[in-house]
Structure 1
Amino acid sequence: ISMILATVSIAIADDLSNELRGKWTVLSDNGTPCIMMYAQIDLNLSYMTDDDSLAEAGTIRVPAESTTDKSSCYEKVPIGDDFIVSQVLQLNLPENEGWNVRIAFTQDGRLGVHSSDYALYQVTVTANYSSMADVFVNAPKGHTHTYYSVIDFIHPPLIANDEFTKVGDSISCSVPQTYPINEDPHHGPAASVTLSNLQMQAYMSNSDAFGKRVMCPEDQNDLDTLPIIVASIIGGLALFTVISYFVYRSRLPTDILNITEQEFGEEHEVHHEGDISHLTSHHDNYGFHEEEHRF
């Protein structure tokens, strides 16, 4: 029963996660995808109130039905006085005017990306506090704030070190991964993004399906523990069976145990006698062959 309940619980959890998981595609000029991303995206944002105090907005989930208008397969993303050639997925929140999340990918070697690889290097959030007044309590009215990562070519962002793979492959990670968007108070309130149930691919060409799935280290660790879990379950079942047998034996009436032991003893004697007769006949045959040989 417990196994059935566990299976049902897993199925319900999978259905729920699929409902929360967005499936977004950015098309190139020839109609084929350059970016595909399946993920549950949660934003963790803080903000400044009217009295200049810092407050937490809590977790804001990017709706699965967010649109991808103003996404691009080729965009020069400004970085200070420079720029990074990128592919950008822009998610526009459908129920909240002035809200979008921009997810940028690149092959720029200045971020430590190899020429045959691509990486997710920046997440930017534009937040119109007024369209979420119930979440951003006491925020300045009409204020729109942009949360962004400051890109340092000497010290590339953490997300670029984790979320990368070869062109033609897709990145997959089912476990939640949280990355900072901004941690520097000089650049505004703190913010981070959490990616869950993730599969994504950028710099696609001539294909409308994900390439080979490359799992994140966290998922690989989960797979490494699977054989241990299975072996533990099997060992536990074997131990349970042995203990159950001895408990069953201990609860049998004495007369039943005596009958069982007598029957076992008789069978043992029959087998033993059979073994002796077999040995005797074997020796007789051996002697007969010896005599025959002598003549």
Structure 2
Amino acid sequence: MNAPVLISATSDLLALKTQWLRRLEVERQASPQTIDAYERDVRQFLTFFAGYQGRPAAPADLADLKPAEFRAFLAERRRDGAGARSLGRHLSGVRSFIRHLEREGLASGAGAASMRAPKRPKSLPRPLSVPDALAVTEEAGAGASEPWIAARNVAVLTLLYGCGLRISEALNLPGDALADPSARSMTITGKGNKQRLVPLLPAVLEAVAAYRRLCPYQLAADGPLFRGARGGQLAPGIIQREMQRLRGYLGLPDSATPHALRHSFATHLLAKGGDLRAIQDLLGHASLSSTQVYTGIEGGRLLQIYDDAHPRARRGAA
């Protein structure tokens, strides 16, 4: 005799879930992999919640969830073998769905927002994974006091990851920077007044354009691009605190700092076959050894790059 199939949610709640997934696809342009992962996270949460209360979950059941209910869900997932990384992603997916319900006027996101993801084991400083780096740029600004501040935080962190900038380089950009939507590169003045050309991704231009549209201050060439709440130049500590919030929100390690996004930019380029010398130029490093350390390349890997690239390095070369 087959076991009865557990109905995890009422039809109206499932319809809201479908609406949310469509919103992720169309408005947020989330990847199919992200949508699949988030759908699985929420499905598991609704299945847990249905078992928790002994009946299918309805929209009203999610209207005012408490932290204890999220903790119970994570505890069950941990018993099933989920690690800290998976638990953090589960929480991120459920939070996204609750925020959707909140936008529809059907729930309060306070309980979800107050939850900190399980801390991952401490490790040596390292770049973020590709999913974690993308999650940082997607989740930045959540819960900000004003929409323009949320857009500002997204723009700054997208610049750090999308262009490999130092935080000081991003915050010192003048008010007329990145104003041309057709621009494909920009000149950055780094340490020692050394200039370099940095390509611009569409995602970077879109994030900055969204911030420009919402920013209440005039962004003139003789002032800074990124402003603090009172209109002055944005302080690095504000972005550092935003990354600290995101570490708790997404369950990232302590090594996930604004500077780690620059590491991530270089490492992810290299992993996709980027040329080490070109990455050195993009980062503005004076020596290749700095780039080696920055991207976490082991000595053997660096020698292999030289062996593959230099014509005199081939065995038997004259």
What TM-score, normalized by structure 2, do the two folds share?
0.18
Structure with larger Rg:
1
Q: Considering fraction of residues, name the structure with more helix.
A: 2
Q: With CA pairs under 8 Å and 6+ residues apart, which has the higher RCO, 1 or 2?
A: 2
Q: Considering fraction of residues, name the structure with more strand.
A: 1
What TM-score, normalized by structure 1, do the two folds share?
0.19
